[in-house]
Structure 1
Amino acid sequence: METYISYLIVGFTIALPVGAMTVEMTKQGLKNGFIHGWAVGLGGMTIDAALIIALYFGLASFLALPFVQLPLWIVGAAFLFYLAYDSIKNADQGISLAGEKPNQSFWRTYKNGILVAVSPGNLVFWVSVFGAVLAKSYSVHEFGFAGLGILTGILLHDVGLLAIVSISRRAMSRKVIRNVSIVAGILLIGFALYFLYEFILGIRNLL
C-alpha cells in the first residue's frame, strides 16, 4: 500500500504541467462537456497502461535506442499537427453549450487522446519512471501497485481539471469557446514544432 500511495503522488505531480494532453482535454471539455474531455484522458491512460505492461516485459531498453526514438518524434509531430489543424479549422463547429447534447462522439475524443499519448515524450517519461522502479527489483506485485498508483494519480488530476473546466464552461459563450479552440490549436502546433526540433536534433547527433 505504501508503494501505491507513493506512486499515486508521483502520478498526480507529473500530470500537473501543461502539455499537449492537457490542452486537448481542456478543449474537448469546453466544447462538449466533462465526459468528452475525460474521454481524451482515458485514451491517454490506455496507452499509459499498455506501456507499463510492455516496460515490465523489457520494452525499456528497446525504446532507449536512438533509431527507435527518432521515428516516434516525427510521428508524434504529425499527429499533433493533425489535431491542431482540426482544432483551428473546426473551432466554431461541434460546440455544445452547457445543457445541450454534445455533437462529438465519445470514441472520437477517446481516439484523440490515444493520438496525443503516442508521442516520444510520453514514452521517454515511462522509460525513466519505470526504469527506476525496475532497477529496485520490485516484485510483480509491487510493480503492479506502482503502475496502478501512477495511473490513479493521473486520473485524479484529469477529473479535477475537467471538473473545473465543466464549471467554467457554464459561463462561456459560443464565441469564447471557439476562441479557446483556436488557442488550443496554436499550442498544439507549438508542441508539434518542438517534436520536429527534437527529430532534427536527433538526426544531427547521429551524423
Structure 2
Amino acid sequence: MTLFLTYVLLGFSIALPVGTITIEMTKQGLKNGFMHGWIVGLGGMTIDLFLILGLYLGLASILSMPIIQVIMWLVGALFLCYVGYDSIKNADHDISLGGEKTSKSLFSSYKNGLLVAISPGNLVFWVSVFGTVLSDSFDRTNTGSFLLVGLGILIGILLHDIGLMTIVSTTRKAMNRTAIKWVTISAGFVLIGFGGYFFYQFLRSLHIF
C-alpha cells in the first residue's frame, strides 16, 4: 500500500508542470466546461496507459534510439505548431458560457486529448520522465508490482486532472466570451512555444547547437 500511495503522489507531481495536455485541458475546460476539459485529460491518460504497457514490453529501448528521437522531435514540433495555430485561428469558435449548451461533442474533446498526447515530442517527454521509474520498478519487483506502480501513477494523474478542471470550471463562471477567447489565443501561442522547444531539441539532436 505504501508503494502504491508513493506512486500516486509521483503521478500527481509529474502532472503538475504545465505541458501540452494541461494547456489543451484548460482551453477546452474554459470554452466548454468541466467535462470537456476532463475528457481531454482522459484522452491523454489513454496514451499514458498504452505507454506503460509499451514500456513493459520494451518500448523504451526503441524510443531511446537516437534516430527515432530525431524524427520524433521534428514531427512533434510541426504537430504542436499546427495545433497552436489552429487554437489561435478558431479561438472564438465553440465557446459556451455557463448555462449555455455546448455544440462540441465529448468525443471530439477526447480525440483532442489523444492527438496532443500522441505528439512524438510528448512521447519522448513521458518516456524520459517516468519511463526510467517504471523500468526500475520492473527490474526490482515482479510483474504485479510493476502494474501496481503504473496504476498508481495513472490515478495520481487523474487526481491532478480533476483538481485542475475544478479550478478551471470555477474560474470560467467569472469570465465572459472575450476573456475566454484571449485565453484560448494565449494557449495557442504557448503550444507554438512548445513546438519551438521541440524544434530546438531536434536541432540539438543533429548537433547543430
Deviations 1:129-168 (A, max 9, x none): 21222232x1111011100000000000000000010011
Q: Which residue is 1:112 aligned to?
A: 112
Deviations 1:52-95 (A, max 9, x none): 01111111211111111111111211221121111100111110
Q: Which residue is 2:207 aligned to?
A: 204
Aligned with 2:139 (options 132, 135, 139): 135
Q: Which amino acid aligns with 1:173?
A: N
Pairwise CA distance, 1:189: 0.5
Aligned residues: 205
Q: Which residue is 2:3 aligned to?
A: 3
Contact 1:21 1:113 in 2 (8 A): yes
Q: Trace 1:1-207 onto structure 2 (pairs within 5 A).
A: 1-118=1-118, 119=122, 120-136=124-140, 138-204=141-207
Q: Which amino acid aligns with 2:74?
A: I
Aligned-residue identity in percent: 53
Q: Which amino acid aligns with 2:46?
A: T
TM-score normalised over the length of structure 1: 0.94
Contact 1:83 1:188 in 2 (8 A): yes
TM-score normalised over the length of structure 2: 0.93
Pairwise CA distance, 1:98: 0.8
Which consecutive residues of structure 2, in runs of 5 or more, have no partner in the other structure? none
Contact 2:20 2:194 in 1 (8 A): yes
Deviations 1:165-184 (A, max 9, x none): 00110110000000000000
Residues of 1 paired with 2:28 and 2:56: CA distance? 33
Deviations 1:18-57 (A, max 9, x none): 1111111000000000111011101110010001011111
Q: Which amino acid aligns with 1:179?
A: W
Q: Tell me the secondary structure at the aligned position of residue 18 of structure 2.
A: coil
Which consecutive residues of structure 1, in runs of 5 or more, have no partner in the other structure? none
Residues of 2 paired with 1:164 and 1:82: CA distance? 28
